[in-house]
Structure 1
Amino acid sequence: MNVKLTDAAREAGVGYGTASRAISGRGSVDAATRDKVLAAAEKLGYRTNAMARALRENKTRTVGLIVPGIINKFYTESATVLQDELDKSGYQLVVSTTGNDAEKERRAIESMLNRQVDAVVHAPVNPQAKFPKGFKVVELNRRSDLNRPTVTSDDATGLKELALHILDQGYRDIGIIVGPAELSTARDRKAGFINALETEATQRGIREELRFRVVHSRYSPTGGYEAFAEFRNDLPQIVVPLSTQLTLGVLKATQENGIKISDDLALACYGVAEWLAVWGPGITVFAPDLPAMGAAAATQVLTLLDAAPLPENHLSIPGQLIVRGTTPKV
């Protein structure tokens, strides 16, 4: 039996338009009516004809997500919320990864365009990565040089709070590990953290006491491990890797070299992972709000798909400083 939407509407006792809005998730329908329509559709075995709908709307009802990797919790948490929010509006997520490689990114973009996705949520590698003119793109976590709509973490505020905490605890010799200089996340985190350190140290009259060293590396445990070698023969009081992946590498390096956190070396970092709370005495961290970033990216892209103006082109989502046992007072 070929069940039609009109059958589901009749079973639920509503009009065709109401049933259509309830099943598509687009438009205003109260929760009780939506539940009634969905129950009727399930009872009758009604299924939407996605291909016919796409042809009518001239849309594929898919959104691309291009990120460095799906193992990194930074992107899996955001992607999960992004998919949930898009699903409510009848869109599916198509994911491609770049491994932070510009050539892989170019191929990922080409693949998304060949699939005729309606829009892309993108964590840029190449700051000049190109899409066709007028194509709908929202940048997540990172920003390009092309002034596209973006959703990023408010790292400036969060890293300022982290810097103040480190100075409050008495640390003056600080080792900083950041990602590749060509990525906006690395540049922004480095600038925000160092500016906060220098400004606050000047205000406190301790600028001459402040010493910090910065090492750039790949966003990976191997990158963190290799970067820590720069400090091994001249340990700072505290090391601050500005990503969770970098932190994993630092922990491996300190373990191999018999360096005890927090006795020999204090540690604070940037990122989100459950193990940060349970490793040793717990690691002090500035944690971006990844679910909120994913939800904001969904809102941005759905607004673009509706051809509506964005209230704000660039959204900066607050995170949280979480103080734990790896930053004891000096």
Structure 2
Amino acid sequence: MSGSVRRTTMPSIEIVAKEAGVSTATAGRALGGYGSVSRKSREAVLAAAERLGYRPNSLARSMITGLTHTLGVLVPDIENPFFSRALRGIADAAHERGWEVLLVNTDEDLALERKALSVLTERRVDGLVVAPTDVADRDALQAVVDAGIPVVLLDRRVPGLEADTVGIDNRAAAKDATERLLKLGHRSVALLTGGDEKLRPKLSRPGLRGVERLAATTVGARAAGYRDALVEAGIEPRPELVSAEGFRREDAAAATRRLLALPDPPTAILALDSLLALGVLQALRGLGLRCPVDVSLVAFDDADWAEAISPPLSVVAQPIYELGAEAGRLLLDRVQGSDKRFTHRRLPTRFIERESATSR
């Protein structure tokens, strides 16, 4: 036995064209997804390519069309169910039109985000869906836009950046959730934002003054909605009840223990995502407290486990998959030449009342 490996020659586009009974140029357009090709010819070319085991040369195709058929996606925390579900929506929208997706997790690290933007730009992605780490840092994203690469912002807006955005009305959703706790008789409601320590000074201003101008993810808008509900109910916001101690589950657990050690602890907590809610529940269990008997809890995002736990979690449900899919579709429209005015899509939320919040 010689041990030599026989290499199989990949059929050329000329062979595919001959098999399909069309010109080489027509076969190239059909396989590359560009130019004008009749439906009959396209089907014949694709069938011939399948029979012959032809695989298109993506580099050659990109040289012809100017497109790599690849989208970049930057998210701050892929372990957060919001972003993993949104990514599924983006990927499905991309695959429907023949595009692939490259994912980068930035870990809420601005330096990592800037590096990722540079790398994806160098790899010539056709467009980017980005959930920015810090919406006040516009320069890196502006450089991408200036380079002619379309950008769609997911969940967050960057003031002054010419880009489509997809999200929800965060201020209204947080206000509604807070009002529901107030109607249950809670007068001391804490807010777990998931923000980091850099936000603490701004979230500690008397009455949460000016928090809506906070340039960081969705925290500012949601904190403003929380404040609005309190003020309209005649309750002075207490900055010590607003947590900016990190976005991980263990951070939320530590924040919950701190809040419940206050001389006048909260009787209810609004957590701004499902990972934070898990941290709250972990802390309550460690302290020997029960939800909602001792502390009521409402959270953003209807995670897969939210209905399965005891008690089932009351949530602000975002249409997460649809947010991702809409971001993907908007981006592909831009990549494929849409010159419509930039749009800010706001999808509706739904409050799901379960058993984690009760009357005080």
What interval of TM-score do these two structures reach, taking the shorter chain for normalisation? Answer: 0.7 to 0.9
Match of 2:179 among 145, 148, 164: 164
Map of 1:1-330 to 2, 5 A cutoff? 2=11, 4=13, 7=16, 20=29, 24=33, 41-126=49-134, 127-129=136-138, 130-131=140-141, 132=143, 133=146, 134-147=148-161, 148-180=163-195, 181=199, 182-199=215-232, 201=233, 207-208=234-235, 213-233=241-261, 234-310=264-340, 312-330=342-360
Cα 1:322/1:36, change in 2 over 3 Å? farther
- Alpha-carbon displacement from aligned partner over 1:54-80 (angstroms, at most 9, x marks no partner): 010122221111111322211111111
**Deviation for aligned residue 1:121:** 1.0
Partner of residue 204, structure 1: none
SS at match of 1:109: helix
TM-score, normalization by structure 1: 0.85
Give the Cα separation in 1 of the matches to 2:255 and 2:328: 35
**Deviation for aligned residue 1:44:** 3.7
**Deviation for aligned residue 1:161:** 2.9
Give the Cα separation in 1 of the matches to 2:151 and 2:186: 42
Give the Cα separation in 2 of the matches to 1:247 and 1:190: 16
Give the Cα separation in 2 of the matches to 1:310 and 1:26: 22
Q: Which amino acid aligns with 2:243?
A: V
- Structure 1 unaligned runs (5+)? 202-206
**Deviation for aligned residue 1:52:** 1.3
Give the Cα separation in 2 of the matches to 1:210 and 1:125: 27
**Deviation for aligned residue 1:117:** 1.4
SS at match of 2:114: helix
Contact preservation (8 Å) 2:171, 2:225: yes
- Structure 2 unaligned runs (5+)? 1-9, 200-214
Contact preservation (8 Å) 2:178, 2:270: no
**Deviation for aligned residue 1:22:** 8.6
SS at match of 1:170: coil
- Alpha-carbon displacement from aligned partner over 1:280-299 (angstroms, at most 9, x marks no partner): 12011102111111111112
Aligned-pair identity (%): 27
SS at match of 2:174: helix
Q: Which amino acid aligns with 2:118?
A: E
TM-score, normalization by structure 2: 0.79
Q: Which amino acid aligns with 2:158?
A: S
**Deviation for aligned residue 1:191:** 0.9
Contact preservation (8 Å) 1:3, 1:45: no
**Deviation for aligned residue 1:245:** 1.8
Give the Cα separation in 2 of the matches to 1:87 and 1:258: 48
**Deviation for aligned residue 1:323:** 0.6
Q: Which amino acid aligns with 2:220?
A: R
- Alpha-carbon displacement from aligned partner over 1:114-164 (angstroms, at most 9, x marks no partner): 212121111111322414214321111122233332111232332233233
Give the Cα separation in 2 of the matches to 1:25 and 1:88: 16
In the comparison of the two structures, how many residue pairs are matched?
323
Give the Cα separation in 2 of the matches to 1:12 and 1:161: 63
Cα 1:304/1:261, change in 2 over 3 Å? same
SS at match of 1:150: strand
Partner of residue 212, structure 2: none
